Chains A and B, each alone.
Chain A
Amino acid sequence: MPRLISPLVLALLGLILFGNGAYIHAKAWLAQVLLERAFERSIATGQAVKPWSWADTWPVARIEVKRIGASAIVLEGASGQALAFGPGHVDQTANAGERGIAVYAAHRDTHFRFLRNVAMGDIIDVTRSDGHHFRYRADSSSVVRFDASGIDATAQGFELVLATCWPFDAVTSGPERYILHATLIGADG
């Protein structure tokens, strides 16, 4: 029997680690389901709706890239806690559809995994929680350091930036970020 102890301990450790990782994905997936519901209610009521009663953030927009069938609900704020549940709207940046740059950030391995598949020229649809709908076209991408993003908060155009960690397949986090830049091409609703 003592022979069995070491593999069992190893297996248990492995299970915990694996479970932990799986939990992050499960949380990200489940949160989006709850957020989707809250977001629908926001659009219906015109008020910020918290996805669960103790949440410290609320959905502000939905991003969709229809060509590759990707969609995510964006949360207010880009703290580590908010990013576990969905892409975050980086503080101090414009709202989608407003003059300036709207910056949304999310984890490369969950909600913004689809960014690697977005090609230049793809249409990015953003629906705000007040029901307004904006269409952006992806026009450039770059890799920058997190503290030298080159994103000018006072830009005068109507622009959108989606940011996530780079490289996509790395397993550890690094200082580099992938940013996808898009420009407003139309609005409706």
Chain B
Amino acid sequence: MSTYDTAEGDEHPLLSRLIKVGLFLLAQSIAVMLVAFVALLVSFGTGWSATTEQASLLQPGDAKSGSLLLKEDGAYAEAIRLGTDIDITVSGPTLRARITQVFRNPTRDWVEATYVYPLATNGAVDTLKMVVGDRVIVGDIKERQQARVIYEQARGAGQKAALTEQERPNIFTNSVANIGPGETVLVQIEYQEPVHQSGNEYSLRLPLVVAPRYNPAPIVQSVDFRKDGSGWGATTSDPVPDRDRISPPVLDPARNAPVNPTSITVRLKAGFALGEVRSHHHNVKTESPDNATRIITLADGVVPADRDFELTWKPAAEKAPSVGLFREHVGDADYLLAFVTPPSAEQATQKPLPREVVFVIDNSGSMGGTSIVQAKASLLYALGRLQPNDRFNVIRFDDTMDVLFPASVPADAAHLGEANAFVSALQARGGTEMVPAMRAALTDKISDTNMVRQIVFLTDGAIGNEQQLFETVTAMRGRSRVFMVGIGSAPNTYLMTRAAELGRGAFTHIGSVEQVEERMRGLFAKLENPAVTGLTAKFSDARADVTPAIIPDVYRDEPLVLAARLDKLAGSLEIRGRVGDRPWSVTLPLQNAAEGKGLSKLWARRKIGDAEVARTLREMTPDESDKAILALALDHQIVTRLTSLVAVDKTPSRPEGEPLKLSDLPINLPAGWDFEKVFGERPHLTPTQLRERHADARNQPATRRPTPAAPDAIRLPKTATSAELKMIAGFVLIVLALILFVFNRRQPLLTDAA
């Protein structure tokens, strides 16, 4: 018995061990299959789309409903939504715009929102209001640094705060701190602007989006040596030191519904019987309560903020009034705004001087889409308008540049044919290195004083180093005159007006192909007819501070616009000048001036502009101009480069310890722009990489024929999974577990046997 028992006892443990191992292996392989398929099914269930990895994080391409995105750790979470309402009242020569931005926070976090938006170049921003629930907090004007400190203190203390800062005269930033979960905060700013007049057409232009700017990379540094010859110097700094502040995220229109819905209402009180009133780029509904008033609203209710709103109106009478005089009494001073359209010289009395015209066309990537079509059509039209005794040249630039002829050539059929072919072949690509092109255009090789030298510069102005361009124009303008043609749906008007002002020329906007002929004809009327020169303004009785201090030449159909601060409203204003070769003068009795609104702000805004120009012209030191600007801005409550508006709600709202997240609100790409031309290939190029690419391009030879350059090679995606690595690692672990298991089972058996 005992022997038998023992024999059986010896066999049994071995068998059971083998069975157990086998069972374990079987169970394990079943478990593997189970786990794999459960994982598979669970994954299918939760969404097998772009968000497999982290379901809570969205990629920019996934937001379909116009939601705005908040940047967080490289991915995007749904964030602040923004709506904008714009209400403009035009009263005669000026307009007042009230812009209400609605920041809604649908997230569960406390958020700080930053929105970069454009305003009219000549606008004087003087009011900031923040509406939280039923409380309205009115902002104060403060020096920029001080305003920042106030805002940041409030942000830290959990109070709601709003800050309006100027980045460029036409780019502003609104920051709103501590928007609570589910809350809505309204931020309202107001500005005053003069109405633009050209011929008998009046217009207002309302930019709605900041076009992405090309910011030249600070790779190639130049060195400023000290004047004392000591050999010490400093490398000049980044051409766009504030590049981060003017580069909000831009949504790819192919992948996102447009964001930032905007509604617009214009109450037009022209002060005279109105003829045609037209919106150029938006469908509108117009009501006419009386013959001098119109109320214009968008036909579709809201539009995405992706192009400028342009409204023009004409008087019912054949000719617009040639003189306008308006006054306002503020504090102890009177402010005066005068519009005078000089008579146009009779063309028959004078043979126009032959001209040398240098055309410069921007064919950078930002001009892609409809802009380049408009630019080419405009330039071809211009070439067709040249007279046989004119001379001309064509320059094209992106981050490289080509000058068609070594020096300007006569406008004969052969040369024009070559130029037409050159222009027709242009394609939009690359960066925007505007300064070298402007320098080449201003280089006066012929120096024939019997010819009028004119530069026609076609661009969207989408650059961040405006100041460098202004300095180039100032330094090299000589006898050349610079005419700017702003192309596209959202051109940089500040660059256009200031460059034309410094270049003593004029500027025009072309927002669609349909406008090309009309606008270019207007521009050519200015180019071909003599300007009104040598203008002076004199007040008979009043002591006046007039702006512009030195009155620029006035081109055909343009009014001379003067703003002045007077100690008393008495006597008259006399304006003298020369139309062609004949003297001209006009006398305006000040008593006849009509009451206007916000003229003091306009005067101050012009004075600030003058100070900025004087600084560029080196007529004022930077310190002097800063001092003048600061004094004017604080006096008249205007946002400038040096002053900001800040509003703080004294009631703290964010509880201590709750974190605050920052949200840079994205903007639309301007209509008609080509995303890929600006930002490169969709999946790979971030703006940073784009800059690097441009930096490389700068090192290429500067002159190059417009043959298609070697394009970027295609980047291949990552094409390996971690499946094998995981399976191998998993297998190794299982085997390890098995060995341990067997080893552990063995030990008790050994001890039993012992």
Contacts and interface: CB of A to CB of B under 8 A. Distances in A.
B587 interface: no
Contacts of A54: 47-49
Contact of A18 (B49, B61, B712, B727): B727
Interface in A60-118: 77-81, 83-84, 88, 90-93, 101, 103, 105-110, 112
B413 to A, nearest CB: 34
A185 interface: no
A77 B59 CA distance: 15
Interface stretch (B31-39, B163-171, B658-666): B31-39
Given A19-B39, A55-B49, A148 B713 contact: yes
Interface stretch (A4-12, A39-47, A123-131, A133-141): A4-12
Given A14-B736, A171-B728, A19 B716 contact: no
A51 B141 CA distance: 58
B717 to A, nearest CB: 4
Interface string B33-73: 10111011001000111101000000001100000000000
A153 B71 CA distance: 32
B650 to A, nearest CB: 47
Interface in B411-431: none
A146 B727 contact: no
A71 to B, nearest CB: 18
B380 interface: no
Contacts, number: 195
A160 interface: no
A106 B715 CA distance: 14
B731 A14 contact: yes
B683 interface: yes
Contact of A153 (B47, B712, B736): B712
Contacts of B735: 14
Given A4-B741, A27-B40, A153-B711, A165 B731 contact: no
Interface string A143-157: 010111111111000
B724 interface: yes
B108 interface: no
B716 A146 contact: yes
A138 B428 CA distance: 35
B717 A79 contact: yes
A179 interface: yes
15 contacts: A11-B28, A14-B733, A14-B734, A15-B734, A17-B730, A18-B734, A20-B723, A24-B726, A56-B62, A83-B718, A91-B681, A91-B683, A107-B720, A108-B719, A154-B711
User: Top 6 closest A-B pairs, CB basis?
Assistant: A18-B730, A14-B733, A17-B730, A21-B727, A21-B726, A19-B35
Interface of A: 3-4, 6-8, 10-11, 13-27, 30, 52, 54-56, 77-81, 83-84, 88, 90-93, 101, 103, 105-110, 112, 144, 146-154, 163-165, 170-174, 177, 179
Given A10-B740, A81-B52, A153-B714, 19 more contacts: A3-B744, A3-B747, A7-B740, A11-B734, A14-B733, A15-B32, A16-B35, A20-B723, A23-B40, A83-B719, A110-B721, A112-B719, A149-B713, A150-B713, A171-B725, A173-B718, A173-B720, A173-B722, A177-B716
